[in-house]
Amino acid sequence: MNRDDLQVGSIMRSASFVFSALLLVATSLVAAEPAPSAPNGPPVSLECSPARIDLTGPRDLQRIGVLGQFGDNRRWELTRSAKYVSANTKVAEVDAAGIVRPVSDGSTTIRVDVQGRSADIPVVVKQAKRDVPTSFVREVMPVLTKAGCNQGSCHGAALGRGGFRLSLLGFDAAFDHSQIVQSAEGRRVVVSDPERSILLLKPTLQMEHGGGERLKRFTREYETLRRWLEDGAPEPAAKDAQVASLEVWPAKRIMTANETQQLFVTAIWDDGRREDVTATALYDTLNDSIASVTPQGLVTAKARGETHIMIRFGGQATVAEVTLPFA
């Protein structure tokens, strides 16, 4: 090897080292970019969603979302910093996260307060004490879908998984019910002692499960499945309502890097009922380099550009638009 070759090799190694160092510095700078600070002072006004809450049945609930409009024309999510108070806790209760639950039939209001700025949301509760069997279509199938049980990579595969098959993303409720209740000689469910059911034991890893942990014990989702078994595992009926459409709030947000926004999803059923399905909807970002989204629907803005978050539930889909302006 001559002197020129040695010099070229040395230059290339030096250039490679410098490039790697610059890349490391750039990556460190991006990673170190601080989260944006909330606007100063109290908001000029509050935008709350929904504007009215209707709760039907003992297990209905509604999450409240809050956006603040500030004097510098910025909008900022205030859901997690807002204070919530029910005017009549004998009709409806609200927790620190802004989740409203029914107590008894009647009307009341929820006061939302942020730094002295407030808004009132009317609440109407119906059938709070009614004994309503757990619905396979409305309550059980969304839990199985959210847990990934009926995904193509799991029991929703064409041949199922581990001898157990479900319809892909729950498109066939009658088939899924028969597979859960009747296949394997009915060993997956024990209605006389729900917590001994394989349907609960495997996804909580109380029994070996190739798909890993899918549910936590005693969560709302776990209790939904347990209660359905306790109710006798009622099957779906032809008259069961289906999801007609979805709404997401906010439908559009202009954000800055590292700002977050919780999405709130409402399913409109073909019987006219509106239901908060934020917890059981599925979320996917169309461009993770611009904005990411958690399985719970929390969006984090990343880089300049525009993208959409796709939301799916009950065979329907909608999108939320996220924009990070270039200037």
Cα separations (Å) of 130 from 68, 101, 103? 37, 14, 11
Confidence at 287, pLDDT banded by 50, 70, 90:
very high
Residue-wise DSSP of 230-290? HTT-PPP-TT---EEEEEEESSEEE--TT-EEE-EEEEEETTS-EEE-TTT-EEEES-TTT
Joined together, the tokens standing for residue 283 give 């979320």
- Amino acid present at 226: R
Cα separations (Å) of 307 from 7, 152, 228, 265? 47, 26, 39, 18
Q: What is the mean pLDDT of residues 88-102?
A: 98
- Tell me the average pLDDT of the chain: 90
Q: What is the pLDDT of residues 17-32, one digit of tens each?
A: 433 433 333 333 334 4
The CA distance from 316 to 327, in Å, is: 35
Q: What is the pLDDT of residue 34?
A: 62
Q: What is the mean pLDDT of residues 143-159?
A: 94
Which has the closest alpha carbon to 228: 165, 139, 148?
139
- Any bridge partners for residue 275, and if so which? 267
Q: What is the pLDDT of residue 39?
A: 84
Residues 281, 311 contacting (CB under 8 angstroms): yes
Q: What is the pLDDT of residues 189-223, one digit of tens each?
A: 999 999 999 999 999 999 999 899 999 999 999 99
- Amino acid present at 14: S
Q: What is the pLDDT of residues 242-266, one digit of tens each?
A: 999 999 999 999 999 999 999 999 9
- Amino acid present at 264: F
Q: What is the pLDDT of residue 26?
A: 33
Q: What is the pLDDT of residue 244?
A: 98
Q: Give the β-pairing of 45-49 and 65-69.
A: antiparallel
Residue 85's SS3 state is strand
Given a cut of 90, is residue 10 above it in pLDDT?
no
Q: What is the mean pLDDT of residues 51-66?
A: 98
Cα separations (Å) of 300 from 258, 288, 295? 6, 10, 12
Q: What is the pLDDT of residue 46?
A: 97
Residues 48, 112 contacting (CB under 8 angstroms): yes
Top CATH class of 45-126 equals mainly beta
Top CATH class of 243-324 equals mainly beta
Given a cut of 50, is residue 123 above it in pLDDT?
yes
Q: What is the pLDDT of residues 30-50, one digit of tens each?
A: 344 566 777 888 999 999 999
Confidence at 137, pLDDT banded by 50, 70, 90:
very high
φ/ψ of residue 245, rounded to 5: -165, 170
Residues 124, 55 contacting (CB under 8 angstroms): yes
The CA distance from 93 to 79, in Å, is: 17
Residue-wise DSSP of 53-67? EEEESTT--EE-EEE
The CA distance from 294 to 274, in Å, is: 24
The CA distance from 127 to 60, in Å, is: 10
Given a cut of 70, is residue 7 above it in pLDDT?
no
Given a cut of 70, is residue 13 above it in pLDDT?
no
- Amino acid present at 53: I
Confidence at 185, pLDDT banded by 50, 70, 90:
confident
Q: What is the pLDDT of residues 162-174, one digit of tens each?
A: 899 999 999 999 9
Q: Where are the domains of the chain?
A: 45-126, 136-230, 243-324
Residue 69's SS3 state is strand
Given a cut of 80, is residue 15 above it in pLDDT?
no
φ/ψ of residue 244, rounded to 5: -90, -35
The CA distance from 52 to 12, in Å, is: 66
Q: What percent of the chain has pLDDT over 90?
A: 82
Distance of CA 117 to the CA centre of its chain: 28
Confidence at 226, pLDDT banded by 50, 70, 90:
very high
Q: Report the residue count for the chain.
A: 327
